Amino acid sequence: MFGTMGTPWAVLVLALALVGLWAPCAAYKQPNFIVILADDVGWGDLGANWAETKETPHLDELAAEGTRFVDFHSAASTCSPSRASLLTGRLGARNGVTHNFAVTSVGGLPLNETTLAEVLRGAGYSTGAIGKWHLGHHGHHHPSFRGFDYYFGIPYSHDMGCTDTPGYNHPPCPPCPRWLFPSRVVRKDCYMEVALPLFENTTIIQQPVNLSSLAERYAEEATRFIHRASDSGRPFFLYLALAHMHVPLGVPPSPLASDIYGASLSEMDALVGRIKQVADSHGKGNTLLWFTGDNGPWAQKCELAGRLGPFIGAWQQQRGGSSAKQTTWEGGHRVPALVYWPGHIPAKRTSHALLSTLDIFPTLVALAGAVLPPDRRFDGLDVSPVLFGWSDVGHKVLLHPNSGAAGKDGGIEALRLAQYKAFYTTGGAMACDGSVGPAEHHQPPLIFNLDRDIQEQEPLDVASREYEEVLPAISRAYTQAMEDIATDNISIADYSKDPSVTPCCDPQHVACRCHAPGAHTVLEQRMETRTTQLVCL
């Protein structure tokens, strides 16, 4: 298997060893898991990573009490593919999710792909998803049918529907229409026909959602889930996919944060601190908390985009266009990562291991004493030894798929080999100034030595001895990766669209507003196998 660490037997041996270390005189107690996924967060958005950032005291405390990973990467540089890879341990080239799903998408994460929630639920866990889903909302693609006992959140990004509290965007979008007469012309990327829905399980409970109170509602529901699961005596897995720091941002500037982005960052930080406190209240050391991001900042949002830190992709910036979200430059996929588990994971430790959100799936499966799904290969590793401080070795090779900029979506045209980063394709993403770097294909590839050039400013000279020595190794790694994917059990996602599958509380009202309790949803009409009625409350 490409990208795996050892065999299933080795994983079993490791799991048994961990059991012996943790509880030599008692039965092994499965740990709780909380995975907090921030949206469009920059590597430099954590004060622990970037000294200029002052709005994250709770996250910085989490870093001090746990382990901080500074060479940690999202599996893709845009929403749906990144989330699909986190929940399957497989790249989009294997799981079929290569670009974002739409409001009208019929499909989602292919149903033959097994999610982390399904594996953990099979191992006795209570499972909950709160926040953004973006892996399909129609039929059995909904999270309630993908292994989660409880779901509360928005089925896609919170800019994919209008609201009455539109918040801060660049450029701004107007609030939802309230009347049937034609509204003024707005930008084509403002969603005005359908309001943004908020789901609890399979029920739309609010449409449009109130973005001003969304963070508080997520915190309340997460707290309630943790309490319920703890009272049940079962271990739990909570997947908390935040709206922060994706636009629209909903918090105005304050004395503590003079700009809009900083105010929203401060709100996210407080939310994470609150979840940590709730988890600790049920016994410190019982819960592993993993904080990270789905991809880098959305550069075209200008002052409403996150902080890259040193990962500016200078080579691309010199040619125009973005080097952040949607791209395979470091700013697109190198994300903050903190893991906290008192008594198990070392505190005040910084790891330089090359890790990925792909690793969350196999690692948590191993720590739960469960077994990976058969008949498929995984790109993620069980990185338990790295978490415990026994090792600082992660991936030898890490693949970076195209994510909406240049190249075919999901195609592998950038990879990391040790300190070397190779690009076969660059360009294609919009920067704040409106420029879009030209799509360029590189053969032989551009190669950067990140140990010396973290800003990705100057590729190695193709005539240099260093380039000539590393190119064969990169070419072999790339060829082996492509062969491994080609011979795997590959899924294909359905990206077809149908307006009738749009989540709509009441089609009779403008923008699908919920006016009457008991009004049937479009989702209800489509869910023939679901016995519980779906209603708008």
CB of 179 within 8 A of CB of 145? no
Q: Say which DSSP state 195 is in.
A: B
The DSSP element (H or E) to which 465 belongs, if any, is: helix 465-486
CB of 107 within 8 A of CB of 136? yes
Q: What sign has the CA pseudo-torsion 78, 79, 85, 91? A: negative
From 58, 73, 99, 134, the catalytic residue: 134
Distances (CA, A) of 503 to 24, 176, 419, 482, 520: 51, 15, 45, 38, 11
DSSP-derived 3-state class of residue 272: helix
- Helices of type H across 184-249: 214-232
> In angstroms, how far apart are the furthest CA atoms of the chain?
72
Euclidean distance between CA atoms 240 and 34, whole angstroms: 7
Distances (CA, A) of 49 to 64, 338, 476: 12, 11, 34
Which residues, listed in sequence order, are joined to residue 308 by a DSSP beta bridge?
none
DSSP-derived 3-state class of residue 497: strand
- Measured N-to-C along each axis, helices 260-281 and 214-232 cross at an angle, to the nearest 10 degrees, of 10
Euclidean distance between CA atoms 306 and 246, whole angstroms: 9
CB of 393 within 8 A of CB of 363? no
Residue 20 burial (CB count, 10 A): 10
Spatial CA neighbour of 377 closest among 396, 361, 389, 390:
361
**Exposed e or buried b for every residue in 112-131, given b needs 16+ CB within 10 A?**
ebbbbbbbbbebebbbbbbb
Do β-strands 337-340 and 32-38 pair in parallel, antiparallel, or remain unpaired? Answer: unpaired
Query: Token match 């089609």: residue?
Result: 507
| 141 tagged catalytic | no
CB of 427 within 8 A of CB of 402? no
Supply the DSSP string of 233-247, one letter for each residue. TS-EEEEEE--TTSS
Residue 491 burial (CB count, 10 A): 19
Residue 423 burial (CB count, 10 A): 25
Residue 372 burial (CB count, 10 A): 19
User: What single-letter amino acid sits at 348?
Assistant: K
User: What single-letter amino acid sits at 304?
Assistant: L
Counting every residue written for the chain, the total comes to 537
The DSSP element (H or E) to which 289 belongs, if any, is: strand 287-293
From 73, 79, 162, 395, the catalytic residue: 79
Spatial CA neighbour of 75 closest among 116, 112, 111, 14:
116
| 79 tagged catalytic | yes
**Active site amino acids:** 79, 134
